[in-house]
Chain A
Amino acid sequence: MAIVVQKRDYSITGPENKRAQEKGLATAEWYTSPIPRAKMKELMKRRNGPAIRDTIIWFGGLAILGYLAFLSWGTWWAIPAFLAYGILYATPGDSRWHECGHGTAFKTPWMNEVIYQIASFMVLRSATPWRWSHARHHTDTIIVGRDPEIITERPPVWRILLMQIFHLYGGPVEIKRFILHTFGKLEAQEKEYIPESQHNKTFWEARVYMLIILAIIGACVYAGSILPAMFIFLPSFFGGIVVITFGVTQHLGLYEDVLDHRLNSRTIYMNPILRFLYWNMNYHTEHHMFPMVPYHALAKLHAEMKDDCPAARPGLWAALKEVVTALRKQKHDPAYVVVKPLPSTARPYMYGIEHDLNIKVEA
């Protein structure tokens, strides 16, 4: 008996998009844990204080590490110094981009927008296209053919995951998009989720990005050194290791094509330093189920709904082990997923459709 794996098309302009719509998986109603409205209102409340404090710490930390890195330039100490600077540049860059994109980090809308624009450039993501891409990711989380933010398909493409340690897969893709946008063009998949009214904004943002990049290149030529680019632009590459480490733990190894975030998202307990870098996105199931709850209230939200969820992973290492093990199994058995039992207090999982293991068994 041979197992024949049907390779799926993960692009959002391919046949899987239509299939997801036909199966009722697109823009569907998702499971939500029962939380009293009064408690939910309390959790959703916006504040400026925590995000202002964290932003000061972040930029203050970048200034200190940047100065140390500058002093170390030309010595072997530059390697750990720039690595630390790069990690502090890219990791909060990613999480601040994310949370400010949702508009929940600060109470004051313009503060979200300013940090969103800065962080978008820092992590080399076009601000407007990624806002729409991420909206789709929330509408159709890990629905094949609909979600443009699935990190890797099944069977996993290890090359992509390994390249992303230094942002060498996503980085060039984004730079190619900047160039395309600068000339007033969009990729076919971007047209699928960015409304026409937002196209001009996309093009102008890309032109600003390109001007900044050209200015950095000019500064390097003028200085006769790559040092200026080591502080802006290149850190999104050499500082990418924690971004991809966090990223792979969010959904990989879990279910595709379900309508219950408890099945396709992973919550992990982390220490305060990692939670600061990640802005509490380790509570990923909670974030997806209730995206209007700001990062500073996610731990409280977790406490409210944990009896309705599978057990959180006890730490980042445990989560990574789970992901890597699952991906290795998916290499040979793409239908493999980590199945997590629910506590007796929880409501049953909502699969949404009769789960298609997507495997043909031939005699």
Chain B
Amino acid sequence: MSSGQWIEACEVDDIEVEDVIRFDHEDRTFAIYRTEKGDFFASDGYCTHEKFHLSNGLVMGNVIECPKHNGRFDIATGQAKRAPVCVDLKTYPVKIEADKVYIQI
């Protein structure tokens, strides 16, 4: 987790329920998730196994599956859940204000 500045990432409605989008900020890239329950989460954009962006992956409940090798992470904690991912994903705090999604990086 980080304790840096809050950055506006997108509007709430930019992300469908149980989906993920890409958010690029300066030279960094992130994945912003919206779960079936309506919770929002954020993580580094690239899979920790190889450099493939998770925004093309599949959100299933609280899990994101990498589009290239089907490795899985827990969206809320970043914990690696299925090979070939072995290294946890870095996650970031998220807050919603006035229908906008902010992440703290």
Contacts and interface: CB of A to CB of B under 8 A. Distances in A.
B67 interface: yes
A290 B67 CA distance: 7
Chain B contact surface mostly: loop
Contact of A138 (B19, B57, B69, B83): B69
A188 B16 CA distance: 46
B50 to A, nearest CB: 5
Contact of B58 (A131, A197, A292): A292
Interface residues of A, number: 22
A27 B69 contact: no
Contacts of B50: 27, 139
Interface in A33-47: 37, 40-41, 44, 46
A198 B86 CA distance: 9
Interface in B80-97: 82-84, 86
Contacts of A46: 60
Contacts of B19: 37, 41
Contacts of B69: 135, 138-139, 291
B65 interface: yes
Interface residues on B, range: 10 to 19
A279 B84 CA distance: 22
Contacts of B68: 138-139, 291
A306 interface: no
Nearest to A38: B16
A132 B82 contact: no
Among B60, B67, B69, which residue has the most Cβ atoms of chain A within 10 A? B69
B29 interface: no
A195 interface: yes
A197 B67 contact: no
A132 B83 CA distance: 8
Chain A contact surface mostly: helix
A207 interface: no
A197 B49 CA distance: 13
Interface in A247-292: 290-292
B83 A131 contact: yes
B65 A131 contact: no
Contacts of A292: 57-58, 65-67, 70
B58 A102 contact: no
Contacts of B82: 103, 109
Given A41-B19, A41-B58, A103-B70, 20 more contacts: A27-B50, A37-B19, A40-B56, A44-B58, A103-B65, A103-B82, A104-B70, A128-B83, A131-B83, A132-B84, A135-B69, A135-B84, A139-B50, A195-B86, A198-B83, A290-B67, A291-B68, A292-B65, A292-B67, A292-B70
Interface of B: 19, 49-51, 56-58, 60, 65-70, 72, 82-84, 86
Interface of A: 27, 37, 40-41, 44, 46, 102-104, 109, 128, 131-132, 135, 138-139, 195, 197-198, 290-292
20 contacts: A27-B51, A37-B19, A41-B19, A44-B58, A46-B60, A103-B70, A103-B82, A131-B84, A132-B84, A135-B49, A138-B68, A138-B69, A139-B68, A198-B83, A291-B68, A291-B69, A291-B70, A292-B57, A292-B67, A292-B70
